């Protein structure tokens, strides 16, 4: 008997990903909805994954989350085909504009290689981005004023803070610890966001020896803070130490 689509979708949520290709063989309806689940979240563990998405636009359109460490000739085409992409994680060198012609609008973006003109151009084309992760060092050029207007969550190295916080509605900041980053932060940077910082994760060495009263005045709306010292980690939620 035919299974209602809403029931089928609920069933597919509980099916192991390894079994989804078999469900695709049952009939056209099962194939269509199973492919949605099968291709929704993609980790490119081999370059063949990108090749498949480059050659099959009807499958690439189903991808919502894509994670890759492979820079190969198929990647730009695969990205252009992923028109419904919302989450993108890339760990590749950007020596050309691989994003040219891409129409997706991201909510989250993770980048793990040096900043350059191609990255800046891409960020300027993604006004819907709310969450970025930059495990890299920025160039000396500031971001365009209209770039990332809706950014609310930032994770990255300390050197990005003067470029990413001012003029943006960032309320959550996680500072990634790098050996070369053991230095104090100019707290005035945090006050330049257009909304109060509510969540902060940082190594205490970046704040030492800032007086407590100055921390309190800089972060009046803080509801969550996680500080590590290398020996211990303290988490404070709503003024209670956990």
Residues 89-105: pLDDT tens digits? 998 887 889 999 999 99
- pTM for this structure? 0.83
Out of 129, 151, 173, pick the residue that ends a domain. 151
The answer to whether residues 55 and 133 belong to one domain is yes
Beta bridge partners of 89: 67, 110
The answer to whether residues 7 and 100 belong to one domain is no
Average the pLDDT over each of 121-130, 155-164, 184-193 and give the range with the smallest value.
184-193
The answer to whether residues 193 and 240 belong to one domain is yes
Q: What's the confidence (pLDDT) of residue 29?
A: 73
pLDDT reading at 231 higher than 60: no
Q: What's the confidence (pLDDT) of residue 182?
A: 54
Residue 75 binned pLDDT confidence (cut-offs 50, 70, 90): very high
The answer to whether residues 145 and 176 belong to one domain is no
Euclidean distance between CA atoms 109 and 116, whole angstroms = 16
The residue among 149, 90, 140, 98 whose CA lies nearest residue 115 is: 140
The DSSP-derived string for 151-164 is --EEEE-GGGHHHH
Out of 99, 133, 151, pick the residue that ends a domain. 151
Please give the residue that has the higher pLDDT: either 155 or 210: 155
Give the structural domain span for 54: 41-151
Total tally of structural domains belonging to the chain = 3
With beta carbons less than 8 A apart as the criterion, state whether 93 and 71 touch.
Answer: yes
Q: What's the confidence (pLDDT) of residue 206?
A: 72
The first and second tokens of residue 170, run together, are 């960032």
What does the pLDDT average to over 30-53? 84
Residue 238 binned pLDDT confidence (cut-offs 50, 70, 90): low
Out of 151, 180, 213, pick the residue that ends a domain. 151
The answer to whether residues 107 and 178 belong to one domain is no
The residue among 77, 132, 68 whose CA lies nearest residue 102 is: 77
Euclidean distance between CA atoms 3 and 1, whole angstroms = 6
pLDDT reading at 24 higher than 80: no
Average the pLDDT over each of 84-88, 170-174, 233-237 and give the range with the smallest value.
233-237
Q: What's the confidence (pLDDT) of residue 27?
A: 72
The answer to whether residues 118 and 168 belong to one domain is no
The answer to whether residues 137 and 169 belong to one domain is no
Q: What's the confidence (pLDDT) of residue 93?
A: 81
The answer to whether residues 29 and 45 belong to one domain is no
Q: What's the confidence (pLDDT) of residue 181?
A: 52
Please give the residue that has the higher pLDDT: either 71 or 211: 71
């Amino acid at each position: 008997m035919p299974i209602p689509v809403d029931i089928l979708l609920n069933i597919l949520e509980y099916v192991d990903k390894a079994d989804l290709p078999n469900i695709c063989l049952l009939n056209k309806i099962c194939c269509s909805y199973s492919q949605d689940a099968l291709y929704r979240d993609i980790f490119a563990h081999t370059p063949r994954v990108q090749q498949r998405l480059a050659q099959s636009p009807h499958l690439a359109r189903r991808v919502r989350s894509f994670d890759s460490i492979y820079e190969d000739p198929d990647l730009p085409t695969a990205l252009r085909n992923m028109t419904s992409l919302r989450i993108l994680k890339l760990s590749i060198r950007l020596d050309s504009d691989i994003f040219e012609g891409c129409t997706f609008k991201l909510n989250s973006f993770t980048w793990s290689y040096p900043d350059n003109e191609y990255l800046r151009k891409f960020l300027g084309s993604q006004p819907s981005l709310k969450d970025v992760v930059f495990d890299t060092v920025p160039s000396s050029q500031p971001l365009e004023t209209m770039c990332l207007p809706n950014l609310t969550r930032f994770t990255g190295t300390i050197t990005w803070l003067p470029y990413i916080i001012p003029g943006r509605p960032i309320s959550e900041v996680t500072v990634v610890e790098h050996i070369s980053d053991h230095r104090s932060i100019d707290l005035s940077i945090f006050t330049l966001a257009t909304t109060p910082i509510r969540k902060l994760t940082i190594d205490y060495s970046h704040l030492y020896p800032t007086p407590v009263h100055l921390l309190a005045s800089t972060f009046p709306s803080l509801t969550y803070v996680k500080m590590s010292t290398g020996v211990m980690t303290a988490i404070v939620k709503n003024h209670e130490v956990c």
